[in-house]
Chains A and B, each alone.
Chain A
Amino acid sequence: MIEFKNVSKSYKKGVKAVDDLSFTVNDGEIFGFLGPNGAGKSTTIRMLTGILNIDEGQILLDGKDIAKEPIEAKKTFGYVADDPDQFLALKGIEYLRFMADVYDVKDSGNKIRELTKRFGIDDVLDGRIESYSHGMRQKIIICGCLMHDPKNWILDEPMTGLDPRSSYDLKQMMSDHAAAGNCVFFSTHILDVAEKICDRVGIINKGKLLFVGTLEQMRETFREDVSLEQLFLEITENAA
């Protein structure tokens, strides 16, 4: 479970990148975090994962405060950043071993084989990540993040660069993970994906949370019989 309680973050005096965010991502659900460019999505995710400090409020992961119990909180999630160009000097297998060691994963060998086979990158692990294509880098990062079977998945634009097969596999994995009583929090620009797999969505614009709820609730609140894309555009345009 992920809880945001009155979370705010400012970069400059008077300018809040995130303003009084409060919502909960429950276990057993896939939560889509949507917003236009510069809305505050990345800032929110960075605070959630401990990369940025919170100015006000509290973020709890399975009851653990990310600010007060950072190590324990970080063990509860696996994070896929929006930029897959990480650890380029390492080979794929070295990166995965490193992540397995950092998260104290038992029987990591089998885990590595299973994940990399699923994403179709088991035969290129001996190459350096810098030689991988964008999609392959995305896959290796996802494998690294899922290595320790975290309860909470935090994914920032995870579909970017993935081929249709891998994209489908990831969506399936997300659904299976949530169905097993775990929590998936992901941000995306691909509204079709959000519409298909999310149990609930949150829409943020200019640092403020405009809506949190299911798609049905969104349609009831705003308009009926339109796609998520049209609802999203309407909500964010009105808020602007």
Chain B
Amino acid sequence: MLRNILNLTRVFLIGAFHRGSKKKRGRRRILLYAFLFLYVAAMLSILSYELIGALAALHQEEAFLGLVFMAVISLTMLTSIVASINLFYFSKDNLFVLPLPFRPEEVLAARFNTLLIYSYMEEAMLALAPLILYGILCKQGFLYYLFLLPVFLLLPVIPLLITAMLIVVFMAFTGGIRNKNLVQIAITSLTIVFSLMISMFSSSMSSQQEAMFMLEKANGLAELYAKAFPSMPLAMAAMTRYSFLSLLGLAAVSIGAYVLVCLFGHKLYYKGMLGSLFSSSGVSERKLDEKAFLTKGKYVSYFSKECKTYLRKPTFFTQLILPVILIPPFMLLVFRISLRSAGAEVFNLLEMIYETKQYAPYIVAVALLIAMFNASYCFISIVAVSKDGHDAYAMKYIPMAFSDQLYVKTAVDVFLCLFICLVTMILSAWIFKVPVIYLLMILPEVILYSLAHGVLIILDARHPKLGWSAEIEIAKNNLMMMAVLAFTLIHMALVALMAFLLNTNAVSIVLLICAFDLLVCILGYGYIRKEDLKLADNIE
């Protein structure tokens, strides 16, 4: 049984991590992850340094460990909701595994092991740097690091088991969900909204309240978690008192729970899994009305096809569309709540700034910066070709110029960017009472910026990734996202430079950045037209 579980785990992990990429792309991917890891580790280390210092002043350093463990448990549970649904139920290899002579508990154990490996990666990103920093700052000895490894490995087990079992029970008693697309969209949307609501809630506390909360209530919060997750007090005891007994207890509880779940959970798991393998709405036999047969014209039809692909494929919708629509407005609302808790003086100050003509360049610059930053959540242009996968071959044999098809694909990105920029402007007018004149002033640039944003499709057209087996490879694990960030940063840097360093007036800022984006559009879209055939050659 153990050998089967290990073999299956290995196969699932290979399937999960293998992207069929060439060595060069694999190296680039490793570099990207290394960079991200270092970046996150650096940010967390800075935060941890401040927090450890503050806790040490109250002789509550050990509370830091509790906070880190709570963060690990919270993150594990949050991220494993979507991961467990996809891995346990909507993984394509279920079709191949089911006919093989594996026991259901072996399959469940192997799936859970895969989930655990994912969570270790997240845990390493979140907790490794802070825990090591704690060890250094609090001058912990060899035993601290010796106990750290097993605690690191055992801590996520119970939270993962709880999430996994909740999902298993949900899927078992909801009739073997047929519409997997709806399930994926619903669960992911709820997760995003929940995460944003946590941000909103935490920022609604004033900074003084936060400090009080963190410093005085840290242990209390840890006690709350300790009641929900029995592994947590054992982990704390192991790390603070170097108790081998606690460590053994942690291992026993985690492994025991794991074994119990696998032995008894498999029936529920299979109940939900069989029947959700073949997805979607089922074949509809509704009669079509005349309107359904009406044609729209080549370009409208193509645009409609593109939109439907983004809206109907759950991964594309939740990774590419939903973040653009939800996150920027939520973040603005969060900022508004933070301002409100700072008091009415802030709004008086803003009003005074708006009335002072000499601040006009800064107002225009900040409005542009916020709009550009929010538009950076849009990654449509850099996946517009790749997202088609093998359907992209159709781009080559239908009688429509390749450049025309790229223009239509770009239009989705342009509209989405424009949408979020306009929403940002409207919210700014409402939340921060920005005078309409300033928003009208930046409108031409917002339109041109959105158009210029679409030019990034060239990057995807030059190096399309069509051989993906899971949509997440394109929608999430995509190096080209750095290009979108670079595009945004360049624009933001230009605007900031003009406003804050060169003291350019407001109208000139807008005109100059408009000219820049106009040039980008002319050169970019011109390149697409000129290199039509060469770009088409990249789809082979």
Q: Residues of A with Cβ closer than 8 Å to B? A: 49-53, 70-72, 74-75, 79, 81, 83, 85-87, 89-90, 93-94, 97-105, 108-109, 112-113, 123-128, 130-132, 136
Contacts and interface: CB of A to CB of B under 8 A. Distances in A.
Contacts of B281: 127-128, 131
B426 to A, nearest CB: 31
A101 B296 contact: yes
A125 B288 contact: yes
Contact of B396 (A49, A86, A102, A108): A49
B292 A93 contact: yes
Contacts of A85: 390
List of 6 A-B pairs having minimum Cβ-Cβ separation, nearest first = A109-B293, A101-B301, A127-B284, A74-B399, A89-B312, A49-B397
B396 A50 contact: yes
Contacts of B202: none
Given A50-B397, A124-B285, 5 more contacts: A70-B533, A94-B305, A105-B295, A126-B288, A132-B283
Contact of A126 (B286, B304, B396): B286
B539 to A, nearest CB: 8
B343 interface: no
9 contacts: A51-B397, A74-B399, A113-B293, A124-B285, A125-B288, A128-B281, A131-B282, A131-B283, A136-B283
B222 to A, nearest CB: 46
Nearest to A104: B298
Interface in B274-329: 279-288, 290, 292-298, 300-302, 304-305, 308-309, 312-313
Given A98-B301, A102-B400, A93 B293 contact: yes
B308 A89 contact: yes
Contacts of A79: 397
A108 B295 contact: yes
B206 to A, nearest CB: 47
A128 B293 contact: no
B345 interface: no
A4 B37 CA distance: 54
Interface of B: 279-288, 290, 292-298, 300-302, 304-305, 308-309, 312-313, 390-391, 393-394, 396-401, 533, 537, 539-540
B313 A89 contact: yes
Contacts of A112: 293
Contacts of B287: 123, 126
B293 A127 contact: no
Contact of B394 (A75, A86, A104, A105): A86
Given A51-B396, A81-B393, A125-B288, A97 B296 contact: yes
B394 to A, nearest CB: 7
B424 to A, nearest CB: 29
A101 B297 contact: yes
A182 B313 CA distance: 39
Nearest to B395: A51
B537 A53 contact: yes
A163 B282 CA distance: 20
Contacts of A132: 283
Contact of A127 (B282, B309, B401): B282
Given A83-B390, A124-B284, A94 B401 contact: no
B308 A94 contact: yes
B397 A108 contact: no
Contacts of A90: 305, 308-309
Contacts of A104: 298
Pick from B396, B537, B540 the residue with the most CB of A within 10 Å.
B396
A124 B301 CA distance: 21
Nearest to B401: A71
Contact of B302 (A89, A102, A113): A102
B299 to A, nearest CB: 9
B6 to A, nearest CB: 33
B420 to A, nearest CB: 23
A54 to B, nearest CB: 11
Contacts of A136: 283
Contacts of B313: 89
A47 B178 CA distance: 40
B54 to A, nearest CB: 51
Nearest to B301: A101
B308 to A, nearest CB: 6
A104 B297 CA distance: 8
A131 B181 CA distance: 12
Given A74-B397, A98-B305, A131-B281, A108 B540 contact: no
Contacts of B312: 89, 128
B393 A89 contact: no
Contacts of A75: 399
A81 to B, nearest CB: 7
A127 B283 contact: yes
Contacts of B399: 71-72, 74-75, 102-103
B391 A86 contact: yes
A130 B280 contact: yes
Contacts of A83: 390
B295 A100 contact: yes
Nearest to A89: B312
Contacts of B300: 101
B293 A108 contact: yes
Nearest to A97: B295
A219 B370 CA distance: 76
Nearest to B405: A102
Given A112-B293, A113-B293, A124 B397 contact: no
A130 B279 contact: yes
Nearest to A123: B285
